[in-house]
Structure 1
Amino acid sequence: MAHGDITHIDIPVSDPARATEFYGAVFGWQIAEMPGFEGYPMWQAPNTISGGGLAPRSDDFTTPRSYVEVDSIEETLATVRKLGGRVVTEKSEISPTSWWAAFEDVDGNQIGLYEGTTGAG
């Protein structure tokens, strides 16, 4: 994936088992929990490219959130702040080689950010 590509979509859910059954039946998605991500079932569309997660619903997370891959979360969040956006979640580790964050744009839409590396460096 390249800078600016949409890489992941989270859907807020209150009951992961119910949502897994629902989205699996409606769209034919393959949905399963991955080791280390219990309570966060991940889905993959039949095209095997599109995917995301069924994330716990919270007061701050009530609508689906798309994640955009960026070269640097820090630089992107600095630009968001400069242009009047609001950071919702600072850079957080997913794994030793990948991170995420979230912000609200100037219209209140939440967008997620993803930064990852492939290998040492």
Structure 2
Amino acid sequence: MAHGDITHIDIPVADLAKAAAFYSELFGWQIAEPPGFEGYPMWSAPNGISGGGLAPRSEGFTQPRSYVEVDSIDDTIAKAEAAGATVAMGKQPITAKSWWAVIVDPDGNHIGLFEGTTQD
């Protein structure tokens, strides 16, 4: 993936098991909780490229959220804020080699940012 690519989509759900069964049956998604990500079932579309996760619905997370890969979360946040965005969640680690954050664009849309690699 490269800077600007949509790399992941999270879907907020009330019941992880029920949602996993629904999306698996409806779209043929392979859904599993990878080691280290218990409680966060991740889905992979039949094309083997598209994917994301099923995450517990919470205040401020009520609609699906796309994540855009960026070269630098810090630089992207600075640029977004200069253009009128706000930060819903600052940079947080996912693994030793990857991070995420969430910005809110001037129209109120929550956009996830992803930096790093999922490869060892």
Distance (whole Å) between structure 2 residues aligned to residue 37 and residue 117 of structure 1: 16
Over the matched positions of the two proteins, sequence identity in percent amounts to 67
What secondary structure does 1:81 align onto?
helix
| Shift, 1:119, TM fit | 7.9
CA distance in 1, matches of 2:23, 2:5: 24
Closer, same or farther in 2 for the Cα pair 1:118/1:54, shift >3 Å? Answer: closer
Q: Deviations over 1:50-88 (max 9, x none)?
A: 000001110110000000000000000011111111101
Provide closer, same or farther for how the CA distance between residues 34 and 79 of structure 1 changes in structure 2, counting only shifts above 3 A: same
Q: CA RMSD in A?
A: 1.4
Following superposition of structure 1 onto structure 2, how do residues 1-121 of structure 1 map, counting pairs within 5 Å?
1-117=1-117
Q: Would the alpha carbon gap of residues 44 and 95 (structure 1) be closer, same or farther in structure 2, given more than 3 Å must change?
A: same
Structure 1 SS opposite 2:10: strand
> In structure 2, what is the Cα distance between the partners aligned to 1:28 and 1:117?
26
Q: Give ranges in structure 2 of 5+ residues lacking alignment.
A: none
Letter in 1 for 2:111: I
TM-score normalised to structure 2 length: 0.96
TM-score w.r.t. length of structure 1: 0.95
Which runs of no fewer than 5 residues in structure 1 stay unpaired? Answer: none
Structure 1 segments, 4+ long, off by >2 Å, are 117-120
